[in-house]
Amino acid sequence: MKIEDRLVNNVTILDVSGKITIGEGSIEVRNKVRSLLEAGKKDILLNLGDVSYVDSSGIGELVSCYTTVTNQGGQLKLLNLTKKMQELLAITKLLTVFDTYNDEGAALSSYQ
């Protein structure tokens, strides 16, 4: 798993690729989000277009990150969900929790 970050209009975009699974993948996401929050960067956009697989632990970690960011006054949104991930979030009713986007420009303009 690989995470690259870039800053656009005060929003940190995390381009995630690989698998978000129990162990390494979910811990990497958690650590990256926490380090951004510690640096005062509270608006985070997770670009998941290159994520090939997410297990239940990975989904749990996304929810945990969402809660942590929200509790600190920030916003965590999801970009470029794969069809499989969209189905998984729909089944678990988490699509109603996350703001999701297919277009980076639209996602960026949603941050106030």
Give the model confidence (pLDDT) of 41-65 as tens digits.
999 999 999 999 999 899 999 999 9
Q: Would you say residue 79 has pLDDT above 90?
A: yes
| CATH classification at residue 19 | 3.30.750.24
Task: Give residue 7's region: left, alpha or beta (phi > 0; psi -120 to 50).
Answer: beta
User: 25 pLDDT band (50/70/90 cuts)?
Assistant: confident
Q: Domain limits at 93?
A: 2-109
Q: How many domains does the chain have?
A: 1
User: 112 pLDDT band (50/70/90 cuts)?
Assistant: confident
Percent of the chain with pLDDT strictly greater than 70: 100
Mean pLDDT, the chain, rounded, equals 95
H/E element, 65: helix 56-71
> What is the rounded distance in angstroms from the CA atom of residue 84 to the CA atom of residue 65?
20
Q: Would you say residue 26 has pLDDT above 90?
A: no
Percent of the chain with pLDDT strictly greater than 90: 92
